[in-house]
Structure formats: structure tokens, C-alpha cells
């Protein structure tokens, strides 16, 4: 976020203080703070449960029930939830953690065959048996100001936890912004198999901006068959490939900063390292290379950039505000994760 737009946003919040509590939609027809593919796409802006009367859920069972179905709904979360199973939100849903943010522990969220979902100010932690969040065959999603956390250890290995935020099966028009991803091995997989070309090709348009990725293994993100616009992210300490583009996938990478021990910032080479895909042979898994395009200057630090193919995704098809590279680290650190938005 540019400082000018930050000042504007703060101003807007002050103005909004006298407005009805939690009515964050009345400021305009657009969703405030949203940019990228979840805003500008052929279907229309992501608005979640806009227009619905907000409810607050206080127990995990209530939460599991409240998110289901396709009628518009705005669901506020408060405190900590330990659900007995995965959340399965239907279409036209907004899930918002109040105040300092709400946390869902042990079980994650699956968005399957849905459209128009917003999830903000929610921590998703220590999910086992499946991904933290999994988005399948779902259009228009905004994941913003969330925090994803598990544990990274060489003893547990890459498969103890699954992905943190996996986006698969022709999902499309998604923005992932201002999130804090940390302490995890396989972070964000886009397109989960090279044999799903027919399913995925032409989909998987995702904007990743102003996220903080720290102490992770791989996949920040790793994309197949789609287009990901990756700007103004802060990367710190990745064991293997941070951004990986393969199987004809295209990434547009701009204004990102890489610090700490991150050997490989960006790689389009189709060889999936064994640690990324441990179910394959120890030699890794060979597939077609991807494409990478560099937009506004990145600060790759000491990290390797291995671009085997430059593609034609050289410009994002929408307006967005690029934070100057010098300010990226500070702006991202100050704005990511929970408790940073007024809810
Ligand atoms: C999602 O849609 C596919 C294709 O129509 C269908 O086979 C599958 O059962 C659906 N899954 C769920 C969980 O609704
Ligand atoms: C970079 O790409 C080349 C193929 O052009 C490959 O031989 C090499 O192993 C790659 N390096 C990494 C770190 O992936």
C-alpha cells in the first residue's frame, strides 16, 4: 500500500466511526482495500456477503453451520475456535475476525465449487490432515490480513502439514493480500498436478501482494497453468524455491524484497525438487518449465533467480498501487496479519 493510500484509508476509517457498527460496506460499491484479480475480473468484484445482516458466532459448532449455504452472509468471529471438522463456506460469504483477529486452530477451511468469498483478519493455525485453506473450483476469493502458522522442522519433514493456502482445480480471480505466512514447509500451491492441464489451463489468475512470507520451505507460491501477479511481498528465509513457475504457468514478479537466507527467489525450471514433492522419486519430478516476467524492480538480495523462459504476462490488466521498493519491507511488516484492519 502506498503511504498516500494508507493515509486515505485511515481517514476513511475515521469518517466511518460514526457510521453503524461493522457496516464496512456502506462506503462505496467497491470493497475497500481490495485490488487485483478479485476486484477486476470478467465476473465482477468480490463482495462476499454484502447486504446481509452481520451475525457473530461464538462457538465452533455455530461457526461450522453458519458458513454453509449460498445465501449472502457476513459472519464475525471473536476469540478462538477449535472446530471438530473443516469449515465449508458456501458462496456469497464474508468471514471477518473482530478486533485483534480471531483464530481457528487445528482445522482449516475448504472452499469448493463456490463463488464470491471474503476471509479477513483470521488466523489459521496448526492444521493437520489437509491444507490450512484449500480453494477448489472456486471463483472470486479475497484472503486478506490473515495469518497462517504451523511449524517447520526437518524431523517432521515436508508432509506433516499439508499446504497453507492451496488454490487448485480451475479456481480463478483471487487476491491474497496482507497475509502473514510463517513457519511452514509447503506454503501456497497453485495447480496441484501437471496432469491437470485440461482442467487448469486458462484459470488460476491470482494476485499476491503485500504478504510477508517467513521461515518456510517452498511454494511462495508454486504455480502451474495459470497467471499470478506477485508484487510488493516480503520474503525472509525460504529453504528451497520461494516463487516457482512451472508447467507453462506465468508469473509477473515486481517490487518484491528478499532477505535472510533464501537461496532461490524465483525459478521457472520444471524440475520439482524432491523436498517439494517428496512422494516422487529422489531425483525430483520433471515437468515443463514455466515463464517469469519481471515488472517493476525487485530486490532479490543474494537469492538466485533462474528464469528459463520469459513469457507475455508483462503487465497486470488492472490498476493497482505499487509501494516503492525502498518502503516495501517496512510497509509489509507494519501491515500484515491480524489486528490491522478496523472490524
Ligand atoms: C464440485 O463439483 C464437481 C463437478 O461438478 C462435483 O463432482 C463435486 O462433487 C462437487 N463437490 C462438492 C463438494 O460439492
Ligand atoms: C536453473 O535452470 C537450469 C535449466 O536451465 C537447471 O539446469 C538448473 O538446475 C536450475 N537451477 C535451479 C536452482 O533450479
Q: Is residue 343 part of a domain?
A: no
pLDDT at 85: 98
269 close to ligand 2 (CB < 6 Angstrom): yes
pLDDT at 104 over 60: yes
Digit-coded pLDDT (tens) for 4-15: 333 333 333 333
Is position 264 within any domain? yes
Residue identifier of the C-alpha nearest atom 4 of ligand 1: 113
How far is it, in rounded angstroms, from Cα 237 to Cα 45? 34
Establish whether residue 264 lines the binding site of ligand 2, counting it when its CB lies within 6 angstroms of any ligand atom.
Answer: yes
Structure confidence at residue 282 (pLDDT): 63
In a domain, 340, yes or no: no
Comparison of pLDDT for 14 and 62, the residue scoring more: 62
DSSP category for residue 59: S
Whether 341 maps to a domain, the answer reads no
Active site residue 219: yes
pLDDT of residue 274: 72
pLDDT at 170 over 70: yes
Which atom of ligand 2 lies at the shortest distance from residue 264's CA?
A: 13
Q: 169 in the Ramachandran plot: left (φ > 0), alpha (ψ -120 to 50) or beta?
A: left
Asked if residue 28 belongs to a domain, the reply is yes
Share of the chain above pLDDT 90, in %: 82
Instruction: Specify the residue with its C-alpha closest to ligand 2, atom 11.
Output: 306
Average pLDDT of the chain to the nearest whole number: 90
In ligand 2, the atom with minimum distance to the C-alpha of 304 is 13
The best mutation among 68, 111, 112, 139 to test binding of ligand 1, ranked by most ligand atoms within 8 Å of the C-beta, falls on 112
Residue 232 lies in a domain: yes
Number of domains in the chain: 1
Q: Which domain holds residue 121?
A: 5-335
Would residue 116 count as lying in a domain? yes
Any domain includes 342: no
Average pLDDT over residues 215-226: 97
Could you tell me the CATH number of the domain that includes residue 299? 2.160.20.10
Q: Which residues pair with 141 in a beta bridge?
A: 117, 174
DSSP helix/strand/coil, 330: helix
Amino acid at each position: 500500500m502506498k503511504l498516500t493510500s494508507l493515509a486515505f484509508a485511515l481517514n476513511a476509517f475515521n469518517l466511518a466511526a460514526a457510521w453503524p457498527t461493522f457496516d464496512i460496506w456502506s462506503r462505496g460499491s467497491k470493497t475497500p482495500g481490495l485490488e487485483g484479480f478479485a476486484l477486476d475480473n470478467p465476473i465482477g468484484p468480490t463482495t462476499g456477503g454484502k447486504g446481509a445482516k452481520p451475525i457473530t458466532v461464538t462457538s465452533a459448532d455455530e461457526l461450522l453451520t453458519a458458513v454453509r449455504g449460498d445465501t449472502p452472509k457476513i459472519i464475525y468471529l471473536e476469540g478462538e475456535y477449535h472446530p471438530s471438522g473443516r469449515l465449508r463456506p458456501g458462496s456469497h460469504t464474508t468471514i471477518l475476525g473482530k478486533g485483534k483477529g480471531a483464530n481457528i486452530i487445528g482445522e482449516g477451511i475448504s472452499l469448493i465449487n463456490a463463488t464470491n468469498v471474503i476471509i479477513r483478519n483470521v488466523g489459521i493455525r496448526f492444521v493437520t490432515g489437509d491444507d490450512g485453506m484449500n480453494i477448489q473450483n472456486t471463483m472470486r476469493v479475497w484472503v486478506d490480513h490473515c495469518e497462517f502458522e504451523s511449524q517447520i522442522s526437518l524431523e517432521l519433514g515436508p508432509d506433516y502439514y499439508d499446504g497453507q493456502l492451496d488454490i487448485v482445480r480451475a479456481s480463478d480471480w483471487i487476491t491474497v493480500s496482507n497475509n502473514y505466512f510463517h513457519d511452514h514447509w509447503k506454503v501456497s500451491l497453485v495447480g496441484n498436478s501437471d496432469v491437470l492441464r485440461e482442467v487448469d489451463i486458462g484459470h488460476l489468475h491470482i494476485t499476491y501482494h503485500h504478504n510477508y512470507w517467513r521461515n518456510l520451505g517452498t511454494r511462495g507460491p508454486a504455480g502451474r497453468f495459470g497467471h499470478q501477479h506477485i508484487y510488493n511481498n516480503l520474503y525472509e528465509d525460504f529453504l528451497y524455491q520461494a516463487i516457482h513457475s512451472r508447467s507453462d504457468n506465468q508469473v509477473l514478479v515486481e517490487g518484491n524484497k528478499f532477505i535472510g537466507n533464501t537461496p532461490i527467489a524465483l525459478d521457472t525450471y520444471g524440475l520439482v525438487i524432491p523436498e517439494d514433492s517428496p512422494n516422487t522419486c529422489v531425483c525430483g519430478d520433471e515437468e515443463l518449465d514455466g515463464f517469469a516476467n519481471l515488472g517493476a524492480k525487485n530486490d532479490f538480495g543474494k537469492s538466485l533467480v533462474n528464469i528459463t523462459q520469459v513469457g507475455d504476462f508483462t503487465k497486470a490488466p488492472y490498476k493497482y498501487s505499487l509501494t516503492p521498493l525502498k518502503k516495501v519491507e517496512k510497509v509489509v511488516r507494519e501491515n500484515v496479519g491480524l489486528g490491522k484492519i478496523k472490524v
